[in-house]
Amino acid sequence: METKPTRVRILDAAHELMLTVGLARATTKEIARAAGCSEAALYKHFDSKEELFVRVLTERLPRLTPLLGGLAAEPGRGTLEENLTEIARQAALFYEQSFPIAASLYAETQLKRRHDDALRTLGAGPHLPIQGLDAYLRAEQAAGRVRAGADTYAAASLLLGACAQRAFAYDATDSGERPAVDEFAARLAKTLLGGISVAEPAV
């Protein structure tokens, strides 16, 4: 049986541990042990636990950032509603999977501050998807598909904020179930479009 490369084993182990015990308690020592390698071997591939966290987000979770970058580079491709629906779908899945990993940080203020400082150094952070969606909406605005006066940053914040809320806001409802992701994404996109899209000419 073929053995996975060390880097892949480390990422797999980090993803699993971060999901089960949270980022705060997933130490590099435990990750290395779960990956079947030494801590020194882990540090040959990743400079810090924060870098490992960023790599888990970018390589093991839904690819939100590349989707946003690709759309911003090609405004006018597809319909605005289709694009926003896909963005909302990927974002909802991304937050659903990343929230359990990062939630433990919010219980420890100093750890959260150190983590945020490390992410800034790496050029990463939870603000980037908002900036990416804002950039896409501004590109569509320049292309004439988003209303000239629309607040694209607020629209990006509303869409992604709703997707993040889906990750934890529905656990206490009677059913205890999150809204189905496809329907949720479609409804978000349609509602957001009502506020920012260029009005169709009257027939």
Query: Residue 61, Cα to own-chain centre: how many angstroms?
Result: 8
Query: Residue 54, Cα to own-chain centre: how many angstroms?
Result: 11
- Which residue segment(s) compose the domain that 140 sits in? 62-196
Residues 169 and 70 in one domain: yes
Task: Give 105-126 pLDDT, tens digit per residue.
Answer: 777 777 778 777 777 777 777 7
Task: Give 22-52 pLDDT, tens digit per residue.
Answer: 877 889 999 999 999 999 999 999 988 888 8
Angle of helix 80-102 relative to helix 64-73, nearest 10 degrees, comes to: 150
- The percentage of the chain sitting over the pLDDT mark of 90, rounded to a whole number, equals 46
Nearest to 89 by CA among 178, 203, 13: 178
Q: Is 158 contained in some domain?
A: yes
CATH code for position 161: 1.10.357
Answer yes or no: is pLDDT of 100 > 90. no
Residues 50 and 113 in one domain: no
Q: What share of the chain is helix, strand, coil (3-state, %, to 5)?
A: 70, 0, 30
Q: Is 203 contained in some domain?
A: no
Identify the pLDDT of residue 54: 81
**Rounded Cα distance, 168 and 120, in Å:** 25
Task: Give 148-201 pLDDT, tens digit per residue.
Answer: 999 999 999 999 999 999 888 777 777 778 889 999 999 999 999 998 988 654
Answer yes or no: is pLDDT of 138 > 60. yes
Q: Is 201 contained in some domain?
A: no
Identify the pLDDT of residue 201: 45
